[in-house]
Amino acid sequence: MKSDAKTIIENTSKILVKTYAPQPVVMDHGKGCWAWDTDGKKYLDFAAGIAVASLGHAHPAILETLNHQAARLMACQASFATKEKLECAQLLVDNSFADLIYFSNSGAESVECALKMARKWAYDNKSQQAHEIIAFRKSFHGRTYGAASVTEKRHAQPYFEPYLPGVHYADFNDIKSVEKLVTKNTAAIILEPVQGEGGLTPADPAFLKALRDLCTAENIALIFDEIQSGMGRLGTFNAYEAFPQEDGSIITPDIVCWAKGMGSGFPVGAVGARKEFGEALVPGTHGTTYGGNPLACAVAATVMKQILSPGFLDNVNARAQQFKNGLEAMMRESNKITAIKGAGLMIGVDTGFDIKVLLAELQNNGMMATQAGKSTLRLTPPLIINEDEIDKSLVIMKKTLYNLT
């Protein structure tokens, strides 16, 4: 590492709140699926900002939108309609189960809105005491108070108490554990179709159907947190579409949270809801200063149109299969990989190695990745990745794993 990078890291560490351990390099720029640090080293980016850069870095369509919209109108009060907001909302409605859309700026904000929406709906339609939420062990929904309250990690962070009351935890993919927690005061059940921090664990399609049936029978709002798994990440536009039933039918929630890949690096999020749930929020019950601003909506619309363009999701599925095949070959050839998890281009790999050592060695070999949970390597490349880049990633993975002892 050159002296200027070291100085930047040291000076940054002096003035930023230390919520993250600093990386040993300073990132400088990116193009496509590649990123460079200030020393000129090139990395194949299989982190993508933790599943954020869905179109990679410096995508020409996003650059054109940013330049065009920033010169026109970047911000206005959320009470004003704009054609950018309408186009973005219409894309979401046309390509999901949702009837109504709320725009936010991040995943945690989307979760906060979804929780408030569900509680207000339950207050209006069940009883004033119907405020309880069922979430899942190994879940992750964000770091603001409501989102943190439905994240099991709260139990390891008692210094932030008191959390939101009335939250109960069931076991993921275990419908009986959910049924035991349901009462007349249950307002909502919230889950990730693929648990991110929970080690890239996908939902069982039968479990999703059982949840849907339970929520319908007991008049409970079903919330899907697709912040990390949605927007094409699983090879379908919405994550819930990646879990078809045996008869081909698709299980849909009542409320869905989006963010991350929706803006491909630009801060934007949204909540989609069936009409009866979305209508629970009325003027004065919720709001946002930046949510739905013209610049964010223009970028999100551009990103979604790319994801929905002919052949885009076909490539995601093909590259996901190629990557999985390569990892499975490594697992057969050696004992370096103990499990391959996830779905689409949201892949988890378990090994016998210390996860922090593995991440550092991958970075040394020119590949960026992230950690999920305590010991899972999380691989979430841009959705535009091509066949040759998947091959390169497998070469780096093999080199790294086989050199570790």
3-59+311-403, superfamily in CATH?
Aspartate Aminotransferase, domain 1 (3.90.1150.10)
- What is each CA distance from 266 to 49, 56, 308, 325, 330, in whole angstroms? 11, 12, 18, 32, 36
Per-residue pLDDT reduced to its tens digit, 289-340: 999 999 999 999 999 999 999 999 999 999 999 999 999 999 999 889 999 9
Global pTM reads: 0.97
Q: Is the peptide bond before 202 cis (omega within 30 degrees of 0)?
A: no
DSSP codes, 78-112: TTS--HHHHHHHHHHHHTSS-SEEEEESSHHHHHH
What was the pLDDT predicted at 373?
Answer: 84
Per-residue pLDDT reduced to its tens digit, 163-184: 999 999 999 999 999 999 999 9
Per-residue pLDDT reduced to its tens digit, 123-150: 999 999 999 999 999 999 999 999 999 9
Q: What is the mean pLDDT of residues 246-254?
A: 97
Rounded distance between C-alpha atoms, residue 260 and residue 344, angstroms: 16
What was the pLDDT predicted at 124?
Answer: 98
What was the pLDDT predicted at 1?
Answer: 58
Alpha helices in 180-311 (DSSP H): 205-218, 275-278, 294-307
Domain residue limits, the chain? 3-59+311-403, 73-307
Spatial neighbors of 210 by CB under 8 A, at least 6 apart, are 175
What was the pLDDT predicted at 86?
Answer: 98
Q: Which CATH code is given to the segment(s) 73-307?
A: 3.40.640.10
What was the pLDDT predicted at 46?
Answer: 98
Q: What is the mean pLDDT of the chain?
A: 96
